[in-house]
Structure formats: structure tokens, C-alpha cells
Amino acid sequence: MLIILLSIGVLSLSWLSVYFIKAYALKNLLDIPNQRSSHQMPTPRGGGLGIVVAFTAASLMLFLGGSLDLAGFLALMAALLVAGIGFWDDHRHIPARWRFLVHLAAAVIALGLVQGFPLLVMGDWRIELGVIGYALGMAYLVWLLNLFNFMDGIDGIAASEAVFISGALAGFLGFIDNELALIALSLCFASLGFLLWNWPRAKIFMGDVGSGFLGFVLGLLTLMAGHQEPIYVYVGLILFAVFITDATVTLVRRYIGGQKWYEAHCSHAYQHAARRYGHLKVILAVWAINLFWLLPVASVVFRYPAYALPGLIMAYLPLIYVTVKFEAGNA
């Protein structure tokens, strides 16, 4: 009963929040198309604030109800720093160095509360990372929150990915940690409430307030789960594979090609595909990859942890090929 009430409540609060945010954004946060845009009509942005509101409310309820401890709750709330600087950036451009400092501060706070990066398991080796784990964890969280921002370039893609990853994590976590599973489920339905507005053709965009928040929380959830059982880090990396592959390959190819990799662009594989086939077909293709390739591979790795590294490699190889095939990184 708790799961049903939580799911309906979070979904409803997210959807309703976006409804009111849309009215505000039409006057204050209108995204005007330019040469880098994947849309053609002026569209309000900042709707990801609805995800932030719904997930924060759910986390608070679970904390007060005893399903989430204080350290876990405060670690998740560090994501509000990311959402805050993102919402400010949605209104007016914030220099990258200030955004990075806030992102780094949020990562430091969260990692301190969850005690760094989990134990790393490679076959029979179990490696305690210590101080190096904190540096790795900071890089991991900051990269994930930024790649979610990079990949939020067509209707529905970032919200769809958040629904898939958090929903799958909730399913896997249900085997060992019901409390953390409820957190993942809350994020899933908060993202779904926004996706109802953002599905092609989008009525409102997520904005930096939502994309950075989602990447940070999803990354943090995999670390928190990894402290319960190290295999969850591999499972999380597999579930993230579409976004990690496209963002990383694009960045590397732009750097190698002598382009200004740090500047805004529209050369991701999914953006090339969207121009060729349209937003909806790309979203459906990503869902197909997630459900019929990445989820089964993650399930095998979860069931047979000894095959974690081969499973991780197997999950990424075809995606790297597809990303290069769609000319990721080429203007």
C-alpha cells in the first residue's frame, strides 16, 4: 500500500508542479530557438523544478517516516545545490567556473555523508579505494550531472532516461534494501510526472534545474547502493550506458578534432539521429536499447557478479559503434 500511495502522490505532485511552473516559465523562461537548437518553436523551460519539488517532498516524507536515515537524507538534499545553481542558470547565464564549484561542493558534501566511493570489486579482487575513492566519487558525480545536461537536447530523452534508470534501480534494490528502493521509485515517478509534459512534442523543457539534479541523484543512488553491495556500481554504469557513451564519445572526438569541446554544440549522436528521424523515433529507439539490451545485461551481471567486468564491456561496445556511426562529435 505504501508503494502505491507513494507512487501516485509523487507522480501527481510532479505533474501539478510542472503545471504551475509552466505558467511562470511562459513569462520568464522562454527558450528561443537558435542555430544549436533541436526545436523550432519558442518553448518554456525550467520544468525540471517539478521533479525537484516532488522528489524532495518524497524524501522528506520517507525520512520522517523512518525509511531513510539522516545521513542519506542530507546526502540526497545536497542535490538541491545543483538544482539551485541550475535554476539560476536557466534565468541568466552563470559562468562555468561558478557552476563547477557548486557542483563540486555538492559532491563533496554528499560523498562525506555516504562515506566515499564503494568497495571496488574486480573478479576475486576487492579494492578499498580510501582517499582515492573520494576523488573518483567527485569526478563520477560531477560528470554524471553534466552529461545529463549535455544529453537533454531533444524532447523526452533525459526524463525517459531518468524514468528507466531509477525504475530499474528500484527493482534491483528491492532485493536487498527496500528503503533505498523507495527513494529510487520516488525519483522514477517524479521524472514520469514531468515526462507527461515533455514527451514529444514537448510543452515545456527540463532546463538545467532538472537535468543536473537528475544526474547527481541517480549517480548518488548508485553509490549508496554500492555501499550495500558493490555489484550495484556495475549495474548502475550499465543502466547509464546510453548517456555515458554518447556524451563521452562526443567529447573525446570534439577534443581530438580540435574543436572547442567546452562550448555549446549540437553534435551528439542522438541529435544527429533526431535531425534524420525525428525526436519520437529516437526516444523509442533509446527505450528499446534500454529495455531489450541494457536491462538484460544488467540483470545477468546482478545475478552473476563474477561476470561484472565482461558484462560492462559487452554493454558498451555496440553502443560505442552506434555512437560513432551517427557521427558523434562531428559538427
Q: How far is CA 117 from CA 18, 70, 141, 229, in A?
A: 34, 19, 10, 12
d(CA 13, CA 9): 6
Per-residue model confidence (pLDDT) at position 261: 65
Radius of gyration of the chain (CA): 19
Q: How big, in percent rounded to 5, are the helix, strand and coil portions of the chain? A: 75, 5, 25
Low-confidence ranges of the chain (pLDDT < 50): none
- Three-state DSSP at 30 gives strand
d(CA 107, CA 220): 9
d(CA 285, CA 58): 31
Q: How far is CA 84 from CA 121, 141, 213, 216, 323, in A?
A: 35, 16, 9, 13, 32
d(CA 86, CA 328): 26
d(CA 209, CA 212): 6
- Taking CB atoms within 8 Å and a gap of at least 24, the contacts of 312-321 are 312/234, 312/237, 312/238, 315/238, 315/241, 316/241, 316/244, 316/245, 318/293, 319/241, 319/242, 319/245, 319/246, 319/289, 320/245, 320/249
Per-residue model confidence (pLDDT) at position 126: 78
d(CA 328, CA 331): 8
The pTM of the whole model exceeds 0.85: yes
- Three-state DSSP at 120 gives strand
Per-residue model confidence (pLDDT) at position 36: 58
Query: What backbone phi and psi angles, to 5 degrees, belong to 263?
Result: -90, 155
